[in-house]
Amino acid sequence: MSRGFNRLLDAVVRIDVREIEFNDGAKRITGGVGSGVIISNDGLVLTNAHVVSPQAVEISVTLASLERINAKLVGWDHWTDLALLRIDLEAIKSRRLNFAVADFGDSDDLFVGQTVFAVGTPHGLTRTVTRGIISNNKRYFEDSRGVNGYETGAFNTWLQTDAAINPGNSGGPLVTEDGKVVGINSRGYVGADNLGFAIPAKVARTVAATLVKEGAVTRSYAGIGFRELQDLERFYALSANTGVLVANVDVGSPAAKAGLRAGDVVLTLSGRKVDGRFPEQLPPIQQSIAGLPVGSSVKVGVKRGDQVVELSATTEKLESRVGEEWAFEKWGLTVRKVSRAYARENQLTDATGVVVLGVQPGYPAAEAGLARGDIITKVGSNTIAELARLKELYAGYESKPEPQLVEAQRNRRISLYVIKP
Amino acid sequence: MATAAPLPELFQERLKSVVAVEFFIQAETERQPVTVLGTVIDDAGTVILPGAAIMPSVAPGQLRDFKIYRPGGTESAAATYLGQDAFTGWHFVRIEEKGRTGLVPVTHWQAMKADPALSDELWGIGLRNKDEDFQPYFLSSRVAIMMNLPQKTVVLGADVAGPGLPVFNAAGELAGLAQPSFGQNFLMFSRNQRGSPVVLVNVEESSVVLLASEVLPHLGRVPKSVTGRPIAWFGAYGLQPMDPEVAKLLKLENQSGVVVSDIMKSSPADEAGLQERDIILAIDGQPLPRLKPDRIVVSYFGQQILRRLPGDTITLSVLRGTANVDLRLKLGDEPKLVREADRRYFEKLGLTVREFLYNDGIIHRASPGTTEGVMVHFIKPGSAVATAGLRSDDWVREIDGVAIKSYTQATEMLAAIEADQHRAEFVLLVSRGGETQVLRVKLN
């Protein structure tokens, strides 16, 4: 192998994570294993968002020398399934450890059929190298709950490879023969053979740079659900390679306020022509809105029937469908804040309330009759608009336990429950 | 009291009040045969069938070829479907005149003077399947428990009759009518599974009996029309029982209530000023009874509405926050039901569409009174629309880019598309679970 490849191997790490889970009505710690790659001399490690999330409480990185060292989360971005860690440099110094830093290659230059290698920790088997080719260099793959229930894939295409990618490979690099990182391995098709996907290095570098600076990637949201036009140009009487279909407009979103409707065809965005004939053309279109500063005005050129109209939408901050999670341990209750996206999916009037993630049998919440999926909207006479409000009320309960009247909705049916000490 | 005849004799006599009823449900591409058991209720050959015999979405026009068989008989008589009564849920059919000979209405048999008591022995009739000529057989068991569900009902220790058939005591007096049986919890063991819980429901026999005092007063509720109308309408959705712990906390000990979740705009409930989160405690001054399980109070409330007629006025006593409020409410006419909706099957396209109804508007959170678009009622498997991804219960908003304002407009457009030999495709805009989609249907 090349020198570059050997150096790359010294930059790949195993990542062991312990994180909090709120699923069963209690805070529980679960463990997981993934991979990562060191990308800077100051100890930044790139991995997947589904390997290390903000719920991680302990991150341990195993270097190529098999030495273990702690790391902290710098930031994550579930949309691109990327997370950035920093290893404990003090410890590196005091323990006189060494590591190598990987070089990025240009993922735009990849050609289908090119040989690539995946390096990582599949099923906990540290330092495994598998080989394959680039099977497709522009795979579109959007999943509304692909990263631990969070959305992913709307703003980037993926590299598809037949290099074996198994659970635990996640976060490890996809590299060329000369050891250049061209992607971050992210997922494989469950039950399929040799269908693996990686985030292109170009996306990874941009996101990593933002995470270092800001700890998160802020995106703009307009509320337009784009769909490829494929074969519909004739129906919409469009000239070739123009326009993208609006399949859906989120209720109450900037696009809805601007008057955009499902069935419209978007011809231009901020004056630039849009071509969305095929699914793999959607991520750049979506990114062209997401990449704008929040509060930007987007001019949308729309074809509606025979008319062409220009609408203007002011973007909002893009939010995840997964809200903050919390455990109320004395109640045996774990909840997640209702997000705008969740409210929309479930046709709720607004984002008031918290969703029950789980109840512990025998604890007050379960005894009261609350169950997973209920949306708690009120406690006593207090509307639960924010999770913080419920935390306050819980603190009150902790200092002085008294029966609490809880209002919850299930399938839009309102029920009342009593949580008793 | 005269000595009762021996049971075998009583059994042979009581058989004259029971029949097996066979019919078909005609769907777009298939017909589904149904066999249920029924009880003869009068000299006009009227028979009642359990409510569960026919799904609510089935239109009366789809019910075909009603035939009546006697226990142990091979000859059938034709019958006509009369409709479903909203209050009891019973379906009514009437046997053709020449088929009525020898039938005896169940009302002919003396009813028990008092409700059956715990441990009383009751007996009833079961009928085998058609391939065994609906051969009758004898069942008996003892009363295990009495319940208000909300009607007075007894559950016996074992199955006592086919669901829909009468049950008697040792003297041959009518005790009640067997209801569809309850599910029973079992653990299933197999080579691969160790004790996984399953619920089993016996569809041929039942141990649940609705008492005669709850049956006899309602036998006159023969529907005036095949649609079952008139049906009273209240206009609130998602009523939930008030939990006893909640009642205690609200200082409503020993009271029962239903919590109102959703009020339909311009419905009777809305016009009377009922609000979401109101807790209804009484109707016309009668407190809602405490029933177990808690949810039975919701059925009770529903029946209190359905036993009344459109135009009737009721007074509701409601707890709103901490205030007690009385509301006068004039019941309306139930909006058109799915079974009454206009529908049309387009065989070549492979779908049935039906009118968009008031109740569809509730499900889709459309503004009240919306009549735009049509609902997809049926998709033929493998058809052009199925391939395009259309599903039943999709709400079609546009056809070929034209907004659908009425059912007629939609069916005219679809008919034109179907008739056009040269048509290669058409495009639908549909709503599904709050999201819209554009679907392209390729023809030929």
Best of A264, A348, A413 to mutate (most B CBs within 10 Å, chain B): A413
The tokens for B70 are 């006697």
Q: By the 8 A CB rule, do B328 and B225 touch?
A: no
| pLDDT-above-90 percentage for chain B | 81
SS3 of residue A159 by DSSP: strand
Do B223 and B104 belong to one domain?
A: yes
Q: What CA–CA distance (Å, rounded) separates B28 from B169?
A: 46
Q: What CA–CA distance (Å, rounded) separates B123 from A154?
A: 66
Domain A325-419 has CATH 1.10.760.10: no
The domain total for chain B is 3
In the block, residue with structure tokens 């919306």: B370
Measured between beta carbons, the chain A residues lying within 8 angstroms of B239 are 413
In the block, residue with structure tokens 């969740």: A342
Fold of A1-218: Thrombin, subunit H (2.40.10)
Q: By the 8 A CB rule, do A122 and A164 touch?
A: yes
Closest CA to B364 of B430, B434, B423: B434
Closest CA to A334 of A381, A369, A372, A377: A372
Do B310 and B167 belong to one domain?
A: no
Best of B239, B242, B249, B417 to mutate (most A CBs within 10 Å, chain A): B249
Residue B2 clears pLDDT 70, i.e. is over it: no
How far is CA B313 from each of CA A338, B281, B301, B316, B336, rounded to the nearest angstrom? 41, 17, 15, 10, 21
Rg value, chain B, Cα: 25
Q: What CA–CA distance (Å, rounded) separates A43 from A34?
A: 17
b/e per residue A78-116 (b: at least 16 CB within 10 A): bbbbbbbbbbbeeebeeeebebbbbbbbebeebeeeeeb
Closest CA to B221 of B357, B48, B98: B48
Measured between beta carbons, the chain B residues lying within 8 angstroms of A405 are 246, 249-250
Name the pLDDT band for B368 (thresholds 50, 70, 90). Answer: low
Amino acid at B109: W
Q: What CA–CA distance (Å, rounded) separates B12 from B70?
A: 12
Q: A235 and B425: CB-CB below 8 Å?
A: yes
Total Cβ atoms within 10 A of residue B262: 17
Do B98 and B246 belong to one domain?
A: no
Smallest CA–CA distance, residue B141 to chain A, in Å, is 36
Amino acid at B298: V
Measured between beta carbons, the chain A residues lying within 8 angstroms of B437 are 227, 247-248, 262
Mean of all residue pLDDT scores within chain B: 93
Q: What CA–CA distance (Å, rounded) separates B133 from B54?
A: 23
Do B112 and B135 belong to one domain?
A: yes
Nearest 5°: phi and psi at A171?
A: 95, -15
Question: Annotated catalytic, A50?
Answer: yes
Q: B238 and A412: CB-CB below 8 Å?
A: yes
Chain B contact present for A402, CB below 8 A: no
Do B308 and B391 belong to one domain?
A: no
Residue B3: predicted pLDDT: 64
Q: A414 and B425: CB-CB below 8 Å?
A: no
Chain A contact present for B276, CB below 8 A: yes
Residue B367: predicted pLDDT: 67
Chain B contact present for A306, CB below 8 A: no
Q: By the 8 A CB rule, do B318 and B279 touch?
A: yes
- Catalytic residue (choose from A50, A53, A78, A135): A50
Q: B243 and A411: CB-CB below 8 Å?
A: no
Total Cβ atoms within 10 A of residue A74: 19
Q: A232 and B261: CB-CB below 8 Å?
A: no
Total Cβ atoms within 10 A of residue A163: 23
Question: Annotated catalytic, A350?
Answer: no
Chain B contact present for A225, CB below 8 A: yes
Task: Choose among B250, B277, B438: nearest Cβ to A245.
Answer: B438
Chain B contact present for A248, CB below 8 A: yes
End-to-end CA separation in angstroms for chain A? 66
Q: B249 and A411: CB-CB below 8 Å?
A: no
Domain ranges of chain A: 1-218, 220-317, 325-419
Query: Is the fold of A1-218 the same as that of A325-419?
Result: no
Chain A contact present for B240, CB below 8 A: yes
Chain A contact present for B387, CB below 8 A: no
What are the beta bridge partners of residue B320? B323
Up-side HSE of residue B82: CA atoms within 13 Å toward CB?
A: 22
Do B204 and B240 belong to one domain?
A: no
Residue B1 clears pLDDT 50, i.e. is over it: no
Task: Choose among B243, B276, B434: nearest Cβ to A418.
Answer: B243
Fold of A220-317: Pdz3 Domain (2.30.42)
Residue B371: predicted pLDDT: 72
Do B212 and B260 belong to one domain?
A: no
Best of A415, A417, A419, A420 to mutate (most B CBs within 10 Å, chain B): A415
Give the CATH number for residue B246: 2.30.42.10
- Catalytic residue (choose from A16, A81, A250, A264): A81
Do B326 and B347 belong to one domain?
A: no
Which sign does the torsion angle of CA A345, A346, A347, A348 carry? negative
Q: By the 8 A CB rule, do A130 and A165 touch?
A: yes
Measured between beta carbons, the chain A residues lying within 8 angstroms of B243 are 368-369, 415-418
Name A70's Cβ contacts closer than 8 Å, sequence gap at least 6.
Answer: A58, A59, A60, A61, A87, A88, A91
Q: B398 and A263: CB-CB below 8 Å?
A: yes
Q: By the 8 A CB rule, do A406 and A351 touch?
A: no
Task: Choose among B249, B397, B400: nearest Cβ to A405.
Answer: B249
Question: Annotated catalytic, A296?
Answer: no
Residue A237: predicted pLDDT: 78
In the block, residue with structure tokens 């069935």: A263
Residue B231 clears pLDDT 50, i.e. is over it: yes
Closest CA to A381 of A343, A334, A416, A341: A416
Do B219 and B245 belong to one domain?
A: no
Total Cβ atoms within 10 A of residue B188: 11
Smallest CA–CA distance, residue A56 to chain B, in Å, is 34
- Spacing of C-alpha A38 from chain mean position: 21
SS3 of residue A187 by DSSP: strand
Smallest CA–CA distance, residue B185 to chain A, in Å, is 20
Q: B427 and A412: CB-CB below 8 Å?
A: no
Chain B contact present for A247, CB below 8 A: yes
The tokens for B405 are 């304002």
Do B405 and B275 belong to one domain?
A: no
Q: What CA–CA distance (Å, rounded) separates A272 from B141?
A: 81
Residue B69: which domain range?
A: 1-228
* B219 vs B434, higher pLDDT: B219
Q: By the 8 A CB rule, do A82 and A184 touch?
A: yes
Q: What CA–CA distance (Å, rounded) separates B82 from B63?
A: 11
Q: What CA–CA distance (Å, rounded) separates A105 from A198?
A: 14
Q: DSSP state, A281? A: G
**Span B34-74, pLDDT tens digits:** 999 999 999 999 999 999 999 988 999 999 999 999 999 99
Q: A417 and B246: CB-CB below 8 Å?
A: yes
Amino acid at B301: F
Do B379 and B405 belong to one domain?
A: yes
Chain B contact present for A251, CB below 8 A: yes
Closest CA to B161 of B35, B14, B13, B6: B14
Q: What CA–CA distance (Å, rounded) separates A355 from A23?
A: 11
pLDDT tens per residue, chain A (421 residues)?
Answer: 688 999 999 999 999 999 999 988 999 999 999 999 999 999 999 999 999 999 999 999 999 999 999 999 999 999 999 999 999 999 999 999 999 999 999 999 999 999 999 999 999 898 899 999 999 999 998 888 888 889 999 999 999 999 999 999 999 999 999 999 999 999 888 788 899 999 999 999 999 999 999 999 999 999 999 999 887 777 787 777 789 999 889 888 999 999 999 889 999 999 999 999 999 999 999 999 999 999 999 999 999 888 899 999 999 999 999 999 999 999 999 999 999 889 988 888 889 999 999 999 999 999 999 999 999 999 999 999 999 999 999 999 999 999 999 999 988 889 999 999 8
* CB < 8 Å from A in window 355-384 of B: 365
Measured between beta carbons, the chain A residues lying within 8 angstroms of B242 are 416
Q: B434 and A344: CB-CB below 8 Å?
A: yes
Report the residue of chain A nearest B363, measured CA to CA: A347
Nearest 5°: phi and psi at A17?
A: -125, 135
Smallest CA–CA distance, residue A304 to chain B, in Å, is 9
pTM of the model: 0.85
Conformation bin of residue B374: beta by default, left when phi > 0, alpha when psi is -120 to 50: beta
Smallest CA–CA distance, residue A135 to chain B, in Å, is 28
Do B63 and B7 belong to one domain?
A: yes
Task: Choose among A305, A344, A413: nearest Cβ to B261.
Answer: A413
* CB < 8 Å from B in window 359-378 of A: 368-369
Q: H/E/C letters for each residue in chain B?
A: CCCCCCHHHHHHHHHHHEEEEEEEEECCCCEEEEEEEEEECCCCCEEEECHHHCCCCCCHHHEEEEEEECCCCCCEEEEEEEEECCCCCCEEEEECHHHCCCCCCHHHCCECCCCCCCCCEEEEEEECCHHHCCCEEEEEEEEEEEEECCCEEEEECCCCECCCCEEEECCCCEEEEECCCCCEEEEECCCCCCCEEEEECCCCCECEEEEHHHHHHHCCCCCCCCCCCCCEECCEECCEECCHHHHHHCCCCCCCCEECCEECCCCHHHHCCCCCCCEEEEECCEECCCCCCCCHHHHHHHHHHHCCCCCCEEEEEEEECCEEEEEEEECEECCCCHHHCCEEEECCCCEEEEECCHHHHHHCCCCCCCCCCEEEEEECCCCHHHHHCCCCCCEEEEECCEECCCHHHHHHHHHHHHHCCCCCEEEEEEEECCEEEEEEEECC
Measured between beta carbons, the chain B residues lying within 8 angstroms of A416 are 240, 242-243, 246, 259
| pLDDT-above-70 percentage for chain B | 99
Best of B243, B438, B442 to mutate (most A CBs within 10 Å, chain A): B438
- Catalytic residue (choose from A53, A170, A186, A253): A170
In this structure, chain A runs to a length of: 421
Up-side HSE of residue A196: CA atoms within 13 Å toward CB?
A: 31
Q: A414 and B401: CB-CB below 8 Å?
A: no
Name A400's Cβ contacts closer than 8 Å, sequence gap at least 6.
Answer: none
Chain B contact present for A352, CB below 8 A: no
What are the beta bridge partners of residue B403? B398
Q: By the 8 A CB rule, do A157 and A200 touch?
A: yes
Q: B261 and A409: CB-CB below 8 Å?
A: yes
Name B390's Cβ contacts closer than 8 Å, sequence gap at least 6.
Answer: B351, B376, B379, B428, B430, B439, B441
Measured between beta carbons, the chain A residues lying within 8 angstroms of B262 are 412-414
